[in-house]
Amino acid sequence: MDVSDLVDTTTGRQKRTIYSNEELYKQELERIFGRCWLFLVHTSQIPKAGDYFRTFMGEDDVIVIRQKDGSIKAFLNSCTHRGNRICRADRGNAKAFTCNYHGWSFAPDGSLAGVPLENEAYFGELDRSKLGLVQVTHVAEYKGLVFGCFDPDAPSLEDYLGDAKFFLDVWLDAMPGGTSLLGETQKMELGSNWKLPVENVCGDGYHLGWAHAGAMSAVQSMDLAGLSVGNSSTNLEGGLSVAGMNGHMALTSLDGISGYAFYPEPKPMMDYLEANRPTAIERLGKVRGEQLWGSQINITIFPNLQFLPGLNWFRVYHPKGPGKLEQWTWAMVENDMPDEMQAAILDNQCLTFGLAGLFDNDDGDNLAACTEQSRGWRTAQMDVFTNMALGRSGPRDGFPGDIAAGLVSEHNQRYFYRRWQEHMQAESWAEVPTYNINSLSVEEPENA
Amino acid sequence: MTKNATFERPQTGQSASLELTHALTQTVYREARMLDDENYVGWVKMLADDLLYHMPGIETRYRRDKTDQVNDLTRMAYYNDNLEEIKKRLSRLETGTAWSEDPATRYTHIITNVEVEMTEKEGEYQVFSNFYAYRNRNEREEDSLIGNRVDIWREAGAAFQLVKRRIILKHNVLLSKNLNIFL
């Protein structure tokens, strides 16, 4: 389908049909989820050989498993004989995956290791070497985050992430011990198109003071870029909306502490930040170490990964049709954090953005209703808008990306829909533009 | 605030008297009625100061995986609340700006399979029950949450207060858009 008229990033307009159209959804599975690098697992979730984790790439069920040599492979969770699901657990440790249907057995490296009655019934004529599990084309890791990609022509993961690494490293590389994801997967089905929560988290600081007014009243303990209950004020100098990094986005405050604004008892976190600030500055430099590490940062890796240093939740959205998604959430910690602090983070993540979380209650309701209101004959033809602060972006010293001031702007959402449109229009990776706007690497003095 | 590492509960297996069983059964029914009526002022009075309200999140694992996802309080839990945290949740509702709660959700809590046991502690009782919580909202939004509970209730004057509750919900993927409900 031609999507050139469905999104207009110069005016900040989208047609509502993009949230409900079945045909567009199928095109998304092919051109976005079949083409982009997708988050699979954090290395901390499968530390030992044989440890596996089940996830989805688009609607494809995938097993990610640690190999004997420490590397990680990913396979379609489907028997090559009759297509049955070969693994039914969310995670575990396996020496082999044996299909429940006829007993075909696959080794952790995906090879077909055993076939019952192979000689008696197949007369020894089965070519087992051609019937191993179907491997995800590319699997690569960036500092603990493991991604997979189905498209053989995709750029490398490093190139795909581009300048978003500037922000990724604020979480993944600030401390020498690295990071982990904690806890059982918190899974929720929501009657929302998958783009709506991504758009909400990637750039929508506007909804916070209004949609979450009740939750903010209950748990907010410090200022967050001047955002206030009831949306009565904001401080545009207190934050940045950063986009133009190959479709990835960051929304960040700049005070180095307000990530913990929604912790009712932030004192232990403030002590940790203060004690480790010199380390963060040494590893990340002054701008990121002082202004970003500890700040509230919403990081979005296109198309469906989002994580928030500070609030410390980490989330992927798996599409389940145009009007449905599954949201998977974990708590995330730096391994250098003391045990009690890690426990407090897990607790607070569940209290705020868990299934019973104070904030998630509000979002689910709104996003589901936005999806429903795009289904009618008349509403599907209508526009929705992300036109706040149009044309008010540019470069900033010390930061990559095209940047708008403040957390309240719809700058990032426009870039999200721009990337969506670019992928949906492109026949292959060769037609997908690469851009790292205002990249720091070309502005370094040694290049001058 | 420090929290314990495991969910400990008595293992006496000794049934309570008919009279106590009746009194505690009536207590959990009354609690359910308060939750149906959104009478949170009344409900909070039924909660002890040292409350632990725990609902672990449970993944699908093979039987050979012996990870204790239920009793280990350091693992992920949708609720791992003390009284103060329960009050924070209620304070969100009281602000009048929890838009997703207006119009109100319509609740029915059905409590069944009540068993009452003695514990080693004088005046404290272990109460097992099952719940079926039905929610309906707006025109046609509905969901059902079904599971088991094990409680510790303590005598407090003429009534009882909830000291501990563990809730086991049967979902893996939560098939509704939130768990904004007390079970």
Q: Where are the alpha helices (DSSP H) in chain B?
A: 18-36, 40-45, 83-94
d(CA A306, CA A197): 10
Give yes or no: A204 in active site: yes
pLDDT above 90 covers what percent of chain A?
A: 84
Q: Of residues B105 and A78, which shows the higher confidence score?
A: A78
In a domain, A153, yes or no: no
In a domain, A147, yes or no: no
Over residues B20-24, mean pLDDT:
98
pLDDT of A447 > 50? The answer is no
Considering the candidates A173, A362, A363, A402, report the single residue annotated as catalytic.
A363
- Look over chain B and give the mean of its residue pLDDT values, rounded to a whole number: 93
Note the ipTM here: 0.93
Q: Could you tell me the residue range of the domain that residue B66 belongs to?
A: 18-169
Residue A261 has pLDDT above 60, yes or no: yes
Interface test with B, best of A350, A363, A366, A373 (most B CBs within 10 A): A350
Are the beta carbons of A217 and B74 separated by less than 8 Å? no
Neighbours of A116 (CB within 10 A): 12
In one letter, which amino acid is A45? Q
Closest-CA residue of A relative to B72 is: A183
CA of B182, closest CA in chain A: separation in Å?
Answer: 9
User: Cβ A343–B98 below 8 Å, yes or no?
Assistant: no
Pair A17, A42 in one domain:
no
A154-158, A256-260, A378-382: which has the highest mean pLDDT? A154-158
Domain residues for the domain of A100 are: 38-140
Residue B177 lies in a domain: no
Q: Is residue A29 part of a domain?
A: no
Residues A236 and A129 grouped into a single domain: no
Q: Let me know whether A84 and A19 are in one domain.
A: no
Which helix (DSSP H) or strand (DSSP E) does residue B151 occupy?
Answer: strand B141-156
Residue A14 lies in a domain: yes
Q: Among the residues of A165-254, which ranges form H helices?
A: 165-172, 195-203, 208-211, 213-219
Does B28 fall in a domain? Answer: yes
Residue pLDDT, tens place only, A269-316: 999 999 999 999 999 999 999 999 999 999 999 999 999 998 999 999
* Mean pLDDT value across chain A: 94
CA dihedral sign of residues A402, A404, A410, A412: positive
Q: Which of A408, A366, A353 is nearest to A227 (CA)?
A: A408
Query: Does residue A149 form part of some domain?
Result: no
Q: Does the distance separating the beta carbons of A218 and B91 come in below 8 Å?
A: yes
Residue B74 is nearest to which of A230, A343, A351, comparing CB atoms?
A343
Who wins on pLDDT, A275 or A238? A275
- Please give the pLDDT value at position A441: 67
Residue B5 inside a domain? The answer is no
Whether the per-residue pLDDT at B100 is higher than 50: the answer is yes
- Give the whole-angstrom CA distance, residue A61 versus residue A31: 18
Q: Are residues A131 and A258 in the same domain?
A: no
- Which residue among A182, A265, A362 places its CB closest to the CB of B76? A182
Q: Does position A444 have pLDDT exceeding 70, yes or no?
A: no
Note whether A360 and A432 are same-domain residues. yes
E strand or H helix at A53: strand A51-57
User: By CA distance, what is B137's nearest residue in A?
Assistant: A365
Q: Are residues A101 and A203 in the same domain?
A: no
A347 part of contact set with chain B, CB < 8 Å:
yes
Residue B95 within any structural domain of the chain? yes
CB contact under 8 A, A361 and B76: no
In a shared domain, residues A129 and A214: no
Q: What is the CATH number of the domain that holds B68?
A: 3.10.450.50
A82: confidence class by pLDDT, cuts 50, 70, 90: very high
Residue B47 lies in a domain: yes
Q: Answer yes or no: do A258 and A122 share one domain.
A: no
Which of B61, B77, B93 lies at the smallest CB-CB distance from A90? B61
Do the chains contact at A91 and B174, CB–CB below 8 Å? no
Same domain (yes/no): A102, A228: no
Q: How far apart are CA A377 and CA A389, in angstroms?
A: 31
Give A57's Cβ-side CA count (13 Å radius).
Answer: 31
Q: Do A350 and B75 touch (CB under 8 A)?
A: no
| Alpha-carbon span A249 to A201, nearest angstrom | 10
The catalytically annotated residue of A8, A61, A151, A207 is A207
Check: CB of residue A401 under 8 Å from CB of residue A163: yes
**B interface with A, Cβ–Cβ below 8 Å:** 1-3, 55-62, 65, 69, 74-81, 85, 88-89, 91-93, 95-101, 172-180
Instruction: Kindly give the pairing relationship between strand B124-137 and strand B106-118.
Output: antiparallel
Chain B neighbors of A368, CB-CB under 8 A: 177
Same domain, A125 and A198: no
Q: Which amino acid is at A8?
A: D
- Domain-located, residue A32: no
Query: Is residue A332's pLDDT more than 60?
Result: yes
Length reported for chain A: 448
Contact A184 B175 (CB under 8 A): no
Pick the residue with more confidence: B11 or A231?
A: B11
Cβ(A312)–Cβ(A252) under 8 Å? no
The pLDDT of residue B1 is 41
State whether A186 and B76 contact (CB < 8 Å): yes
Domain total in chain A: 2
How sure is the predictor about B4, in pLDDT bands with cuts at 50, 70 and 90? low
Q: Quick one: average pLDDT of B41-63?
A: 96
At residue A319, the pLDDT reads 98
Nearest-CA distance from B98 to chain A in Å?
5
A91, A219, A366 member nearest B59 (Cβ) = A91
pLDDT at A443: 47
* Domain presence at residue B70: yes
pLDDT of residue A446: 44
Nearest CA-CA partner of A359 in A228, A218, A241 = A218
- For the question of residue A212 being annotated catalytic, the response is yes
* A13-15 sheet: strands from edge to edge: A7-8, A13-15, A383-385
Place of tokens 């699901």: A85
Token pair recorded at residue B169: 């919900």
Q: Is A76 on the interface with B (CB under 8 A)?
A: no
Looking at the fold, whether A100 and A124 belong to one and the same domain comes out as yes
- Whether residue B174 is contained in a domain is answered as no
Any domain includes A155: no
What is the rounded average pLDDT of the residues B140-160?
95
d(CA A317, CA A39): 10
Residue A189 reports pLDDT greater than 90:
yes
Distance (Å, whole) CA A387 – CA A219: 31
Give CA–CA dist A25/A62, Å, rounded: 20
For the entire predicted model, the pTM comes to 0.95
How many domains in chain B?
A: 1
Q: Clarify whether A138 is annotated catalytic.
A: no
Structure tokens at A159: 């190139």
Query: For residue A353, what is the domain's CATH number?
Result: 3.90.380.10
Q: With b meaning 16 or more CB within 10 Å and e meaning fewer, what string describes A170-193?
A: bbbbbbeebbbbbbbbbbbbbbbb
For the residues of A148-190, what is the DSSP string, one character each?
Answer: EE--TTPPPHHHHHGGGHHHHHHHHSSSTT-EEEEEEEEEEEE
User: Which residues in chain A are closer than 8 Å to B95, comparing Cβ atoms?
Assistant: 213-214, 217-218
Q: Residue B85 domain-assigned?
A: yes
Share of residues in chain A with pLDDT > 70 (%): 98
Q: Which of A2-16, A214-228, B45-59, B117-131 has the lowest mean pLDDT?
A: A214-228
Among A200, A199, A202, A192, which residue's Cα sits nearest to residue A20?
A192
Same domain assignment for residues A107 and A187 = no
d(CA A50, CA A370): 42
Cα distance between the two ends of chain B: 24
